[in-house]
Every structure is written in structure tokens, then in C-alpha cells.
A and B are shown apart, each in its own frame.
Chain A
Amino acid sequence: MKLFGNKENREEGKNGKASGLIERLKQGLSKTRSGLAGKLDQLVFGKKQIDDAILDELEEILFTADLGVRTTQELIDLVQSAVARKELNHPEKLKDILKENMRSFLHLPRIEHQRPKPGEPLIIMVIGVNGVGKTTTIGKAAHRFRNEGKKVMLIAADTFRAAAVEQLTIWGERVGAEVIKQDTGADPSAVVFDGISAALSRKADVVIIDTAGRLHTKVNLMEELEKVRRVVNGRLDGAPHEIWLILDATTGQNAISQAELFHKALGVTDIVLTKLDGTAKGGIVVGLCHQLGLPVRFIGIGEKMDDLRSFDAQEFVNAIFD
């Protein structure tokens, strides 16, 4: 199987501070790009018409990018019907039609949600399954808010996993955000209640709540999360204002199930896609956005503080295809 390792790009990305956002995004997605677009170019090169062989290859490309059965079939159907209507008669145009459709799947308005009242902090709750990178994402997000001159406080509500509190504390020190915590094993709702009280009295601008990772299928743990949200809401009306669901780009079709169940339980406002710096193509978000209408807000493209980037559908698709 072909490898997409592209070390030069990665190194450049790590050192080149001045590089623009689009460049960074492209570098982070370089594997995605060389995978998908490279294969597509190879595929259409020198061909005069769209035949079954092209469609088969196209299907492979989409599947291996984790787009999933439903989205892949839909895209293939779109291509086929365009061919039937004679709108698509040259293989070269294949890329355009795919690009256009993927972009329209990904381009979603932000979900309407409560804004903090004047003088009150923005409260963000971060949720997801185990090991997707919640704590790391919170560290990076805190860094972003700090760069905007905000006073950021972090609440360590993952009181289950050993040393999760310590991990968040280290991130807090790194980025200059106070961490509100209790001991491992404490009731997360109690931690959150005290944390919000502290944030209010200390006039924080942004509060980010780190919750314990849990599989979306565990009913009691999902209920615990709902309780945390109720407690937040009870302490500050309208909060939490944003609920970020963290998804791992290497995850396959299960990401859809994760998003569905977390959304059903808590009402997700934003998706953050992490670990896009590997060879995983993150294609799962195309289907995810399309099927659930949940917009992607940020992508994680590395382990460094500033490796959290705004997601932009246009740029994402361009970076894949250009």
C-alpha cells in the first residue's frame, strides 16, 4: 500500500511561523491532498470519457478517505446523473463536481446558540469519547483565546481518569490559564459548580470545561454528562453557551454514531476534528456534516499550542484538491 508520508512539508510546517493559514492548512492536510487529488489526477489523465473503471476508482478513493457508504454512494450517484444528463462529459470535470458537492456538504452555518450576557463569561463544555484529544484541544483553544487577550479559566471535570487533572494543570501553566480543580474521584458536577462560581467572581472571559472521555453508548455516563450541563445551567442561566464535540480524524464510521448520540444527549454546537496531521484523511467529516448538519469549527493539526486551526469548508476542500 502506498504511503503518504511527506516529511519535508511537516518539518517546514513546524518551523515556518510566518506561513499563512491556508499554507498551514495545506501542510497539515498534505497527506489528504497527495492521497485524494493525486490519485484523481492519475485517474483522469489522458482519459476522454467517464467509464465504469473511473467510477470504480473514484469509489475507492472516496471510501479510503473514510467518507463512508452513504456519502460515497451519494457522490457517485451525483456524478452518474451528471453524466447521464450530459453535463459531465469529460473526466477533467470530475474533480470540479466532486469538489463542489463536498464543499456544499461541509459548508454549514454555525448552530444558533445562546451568547453570554454582557459581563458574563463564555462557557464552553468539551465532550467526546476516550482518547480523542479533549484535554490537548482545550490547551490549544485556551492559547487561542489568550492570544485574543481574554482571561481564560479551565475547569478540570475529568475526575475519573488517573492524572487527567494534572494533565490539564500543565496545559494551564503553559498557556497562562487558571485551572480550577478538585481531587480525582470528586463529583464532576460539584467541580463544575464551584468552578463556575470561581470564574464569575474572578471575572473570567472564557471558561472551558474538560469532561472525562466516555463512549457514547454508556447510558449512565451520558446521563452524568447531562447532569453536568444542568448544573452549569443552574449556576449561570444560558450556559454552557457552546458544546464542543471532539472527534478523532482517524476514526471510521463510528464517528457518525458518536456525533449522533452526543448530539442527542447534549446538543452539540461545534465539532473539532483532531489528529489531522497523520495519514488519516478526515473524510468522515464530509459525511458527518452532510448527514447531521453539525458544522466543524476547528481542526487539530499537531501537538503544539498553536496547532488548532479554524475550519473553513472552502479552504478544506481546496487544500484537498489543489
Chain B
Amino acid sequence: MFESLSEKLNTTFKKLTGRGRLSEENIGEALKEVRLALLEADVNYRIVKKLIEEIRRRAVGVDVLESLTPGQQVIKIVNEELTRLMGETRADLQLVGKTPFVLMLVGLQGSGKTTTAGKLAQHLQGQGRSPYLVPADIYRPAAIEQLKKLGIQLDVPVYPGDSQTKPEAICRDALSRAGSVGADVLILDTAGRLHIDDALMSELERIKEQTNPTEILLVADAMTGQDAVNMAEQFNRRLDITGIILSKMEGDARGGAALSIKEVTGKPIKFVGVGEKLDAIEPFFPDRMASRILGMGDVVSLIEKAQQEFDEKEAVKLEKRLRKREFNLEDFQTHLKQMKKLGSLEQIVGMLPGIGQFKQLKKLKPDEKGLIRIEAIINSMTVQERQNHKILNASRRKRIARGSGSNVQDVNRLLKNFIQTKKIVENLARKGYQNMPSIFH
């Protein structure tokens, strides 16, 4: 749908040949792209503005790391900043002190509170807790029925509420009954409401007052637009929430609302909902979310890995050979060794700047275990064979297979793979390698 930010940045930085230091001028264009990417991702306009200024301030004057292109350097800074805003470390439920604990779920209509209540119940069951589901939504038709059904599915007790009783009375009574049903955590499923609906917001305040919740969790749809800030601000102002649960994260929303909500409330995001099934709830990882908002997968962490682990000398040697358009099995092996340190070929390929045009490379995906076998095979070759694969006839292949504990098909597959890679790599080198910002520098 959206061209990924890293692709956009690569285009932007193609023009930029000067290296060394990030300056006001050379990051201007890049920051424009970052800004649009954040806006496309539904991060609130004002937060984007603030963020871009912060990034500009941090980026100007920074030395471009040896192993990075300026584009990657900017992404790195952006990503660090986003991760920092997103909370850096992951936050869990704080269930300490006297039982029974009370978790109160609040949010707009349709944000997924009832489903989340079921998911939390299952999650807590898994931790050896005894949850008690409390239906406090007396407005939406059949909302109580929905929670009861989830309770049956999970074999979790559900407070027998009805839509004639006031929600605060339901919650209060449920709390007093918790002991008798053997529960140690109550999950209050409140009705969806608009943050500007004063009467219904007061109702939440009353529930809070009467049940003294351990956690008040705002359930927010990951697809929310610019209005996320107003919504979150109001819920937080009225209830002083303790955390956020982002729902519907399994879709293709970039989820900029997460950043907006975190920023205006200052409260941690504790879980993300990733499906309709009751086990589809995961802890929240700030760094992953940052990459998702930027629309670039895990490229950033790879950039960081590359920085630490790429063996410079080997890389320079490989690059020289590439420039001469020589790529033999020894290079292939070196290449694979580097890769083992870095992660899968697919990820590496995604990280190569300008790789968008070389889609075919993305198809070459040796699995991680396969890499070990490949290495064994190459190790069983003679130096001559490694330097010139063309001499590998049937009997040589048979010998290699035996020596490496594999079979001839494996050897053939490896060779096929190698020849493909060689073609692409040499092709890459021929087609203006100079234009391609190198990661081997």
C-alpha cells in the first residue's frame, strides 16, 4: 500500500553523494519523508511536528557511522527517538498487593473491550490466576450475553449481571462476591462510550471510586486516526488510566495512534491484540512498534547489528571482487558466514539500499539450518573447486556429498543457488554499482 519509508529514503539519498556528517541541508529532504511517513501512519500532526524538530536537533552534526549510509543513519536516529517515546521497555500488569485485584477496561464503542476482557482472562488463567468476568455494559444489546459466552468458552466465572442494574452496582456487588467464587482478579467490561459523553464518563468515575481498580486499561483501536489524542486525553484526565491495550493490530494499520496515545497520556502500552481468537494477545514491544509506524520492518535492528558485527576487512575484500565481477564459492562462503552473524538472507537483502529494484534477490531464502549444511558442503570442496565451480563434475559432487554428510541433490541445490546469486550479484555490480550506496564501506 505505502511505499516503505526506507525505500523512499533510499531514493532521497541517491542524490546525496557527500558523506561524513549529517547537516541541516542533507537531512532536510529525509526529514520531509519521515514526516510524511509519520502522518501517513496516523501519528497526530502536532506530535509529528514536535518529533521532527527533536530529530533534526539530534541529527545535525552527527557523524555518519562507517557502516551506514546517511539514509540509514537518519532512520537510526528516527527509530531511536520513536522507541524512546514508545516507552523503551515493556510494561506488564502490576498485580501486587491485596487480592482481589480489579482490572477495569474502558474505551470507545467498538474498540474491542469485551474481546480483550476474554483474552485477559485467558492470559491470567495461564499465569495461575483465577479471573472473574464482570459485565458492566448494560447499554449495548447482548453485550452481557457476549461476555457470558466468552466465560463459558474459557471456563471462567461470569458475574450474573442484567441490564436493569446500574453498572457501578454490578461492579461493587461482583467485588464482594469475588471471594465466594474463588476469584483473585476481576475484569470489569464497561460499556463503550464517547469521551465527550459527560454522563457516561461520570459513570466510569463512580465505578472507579467504588471498586478501586488495580489497573484501568484504555482499550484503543490501532486504526484510530488523528482523534486518538482527544480520546486518550479525556479518558486519562477523568480516570487517570494505568495503561493502554492496542487492539486490532493484526491488520495493515501502521498504528501511529499508539504513539499519539502514549505521548498524550504518558501511560505505558501493555498489550496488543492481534486477532479474534482468545489467545491473540501479546506483550507490547516498543522497538517493534516504532519500526512498524515507520513502515520498515526490523531493518533498524539489522542496521545496528550490521554496525557491530560486520567484519570490515572481509567486506572490503568482497566488495573489491564484486567490482571485478568475480564471485566464487569462497566469496559465497564468506558471505554466508557474515549472514549467519546477521540473520536471514531475506532480512539482509531487505536491508540493502536500493534493493527494491532487485526483487529477484528476495526470493533466495536459504533457511537458517540450511546454512550450516551449505557451509559443510563448501568446506568439503578443494580450494580449486571453490575458486572455479565449473570443474565440479558428477564424481566431484559425489565426493563432496559424502564428505559433508549430505547427498548429491543438496550439492546440486547449493550450486544452483550459488549460480543464481552470482548472476544477480555480478549483474548488480555491472549495473552501476557506484550508484548503489554500499553497506560494505
Chain B residues contacting A251 (CB-CB under 8 Å) are 221, 223-225
Contact A64 B44 (CB under 8 A): yes
Q: Does A161 contact B (CB under 8 A)?
A: yes
Contact residues of B between 167 and 209, Cβ < 8 Å to A:
194-196, 198
Given A184-B149, A250-B227; A5-B196 close (CB under 8 Å): yes
Binds A, one of B248-256, B387-395, B422-430: B248-256
Q: How far is the CA of A2 from the CA of B39 in the complex (A)?
A: 20
Chain A residues near B254 (CB-CB < 8 A): 253-254
Q: Is B88 an interface residue (CB 8 A)?
A: no
Binary flags per residue of B1-33, CB closer than 8 Å to A gives 1, else 0: 100000000000000000000000000000000
Q: Which chain B residues in 239-273 approach chain A with CB under 8 Å?
A: 248, 250-254, 256-257, 264
- Is A277 an interface residue when CB atoms closer than 8 A count as contact? yes
User: A257 contacts the other chain (Cβ, under 8 Å)?
Assistant: yes
B36: Cβ under 8 A from any A Cβ: yes
A253→B37 CA distance, assembly (Å):
12
Residues A63 and B248 in contact, CB atoms below 8 Å apart: no
A162 near B150: Cβ-Cβ < 8 Å: yes
Asked if residues B145 and A166 are in contact (CB atoms below 8 Å), the reply is yes
A66 touches B143 (CB 8 A): no
In Å, the complex CA distance between A9 and B227 comes to 20
Q: How far is the CA of A257 from the CA of B2 in the complex (A)?
A: 10
CB contacts (< 8 Å) of A5 on chain B: these are: 196, 198
A3 within 8 A of B: yes
A252 to B149, CA, bound (A): 32
Q: How far is the CA of A131 from the CA of B113 in the complex (A)?
A: 10
Q: Please tell me which one of the listed residues A166, A215, A275 contacts residue B250 in the complex, with CB atoms under 8 A apart.
A: A215
Contacts of B146 in A (CB 8 A): 161-164, 166-167
Closest B residue, CB atoms, query A6: B196
Give complex CA distance A253, B198 in Å. Answer: 28
Contact A131 B227 (CB under 8 A): no
Interface residues of B in 129-153 (CB under 8 A from A): 139-143, 145-150, 153
Of residues 332 to 355 in B, which have CB atoms within 8 Å of A's CB atoms? none
CB distance from B193 to the nearest CB of A (A): 10
Task: Indicate if the CB atoms of B108 and A250 lie closer than 8 Å.
Answer: yes
Q: Does A160 contact B (CB under 8 A)?
A: yes
User: Which stretch (B229-237, B370-378, B433-441) binds chain A?
Assistant: B229-237
Are the C-beta atoms of A279 and B42 separated by less than 8 Å? no
Which residue of A is nearest B49, CB measured?
A60
Cross-chain pair count, CB within 8 angstroms: 154
Which residues on A sit within 8 Å (CB–CB) of B44?
64
Is B413 engaged at the interface, CB distance under 8 Å to the other chain? no
Contact flag A279-B252 (CB < 8 Å), given A130-B110, A171-B141, A253-B42: no
Q: Does B276 contact A (CB under 8 A)?
A: yes
Question: B145 to A66, Cβ gap below 8 A?
Answer: no
A280 within 8 A of B: yes
Residue in A132, A133, A217, A250 whose CB lies within 8 Å of B252: A217
Complex Cα distance, B39 from A208, in Å, reads: 37
Given A1-B229, A278-B196, CB of A250 within 8 Å of CB of B224: yes
Contact A166 B141 (CB under 8 A): yes
CB-CB under 8 A from A176, the residues of chain B are: none
Q: Find out whether the CB atom of B251 lies under 8 angstroms from the CB atom of A252.
A: no
Give the distance in Å from the alpha carbon of A66 to the alpha carbon of B229 in the complex. 13
Given A1-B229, A284-B225, decide whether A130 and B257 contact each other with a Cβ distance below 8 A: no
A129 in the interface, Cβ–Cβ < 8 Å? Answer: yes
Which residues of B are found within 8 Å of A184, using beta-carbon distances?
149
**B45 close to chain A: CB less than 8 A:** yes
Tell me if B67 is interfacial: C-beta within 8 Å of chain A: no
- The answer for the CA separation of A255 and B221 in the assembled complex, in Å, is 12
A7 at interface (Cβ–Cβ under 8 A)? yes
Task: With CB as the reference atom, state the residue of chain B lying closest to A60.
Answer: B45
Q: Are B140 and A254 in contact (CB under 8 A)?
A: no
| Option from A1, A64, A131, A215 in Cβ contact (under 8 Å) with B264 | A1
Q: What is the CA–CA distance of A275 and B221 in the complex, to the nearest angstrom? A: 14
Whether A170 pairs with B141 at a CB distance below 8 angstroms is yes
Give the docked Cα–Cα distance between A281 and B224 (Å): 12
A68 near B: Cβ within 8 Å? yes
| Chain A: minimal CB distance from B234 (Å) | 8
B166 close to chain A: CB less than 8 A: no
- Residue of chain A at shortest CB distance from B113: A131
The answer to whether B226 and A66 have CB atoms under 8 Å apart is yes
CB of B40 closer than 8 Å to a CB of A: yes
Task: Say if the beta carbon of A242 comes within 8 Å of chain B.
Answer: no
In the complex, chain B residues whose CB is within 8 Å of the CB of A68: 39-40
Q: List 17 A-B residue pairs with CB atoms under 8 Å apart, sorted by A's residue number.
A: A1-B230, A4-B230, A64-B44, A66-B42, A68-B39, A133-B109, A166-B142, A167-B141, A169-B142, A215-B250, A248-B221, A252-B226, A253-B254, A254-B252, A278-B231, A279-B195, A284-B225
Where the two chains meet, the residues of A that have a C-beta atom closer than 8 Å to any C-beta of B are 1, 3-5, 7, 10, 31, 60, 63-66, 68-69, 129-133, 160-164, 166-167, 169-171, 184, 215-218, 248, 250-255, 257, 260, 275, 277-281, 284, 303
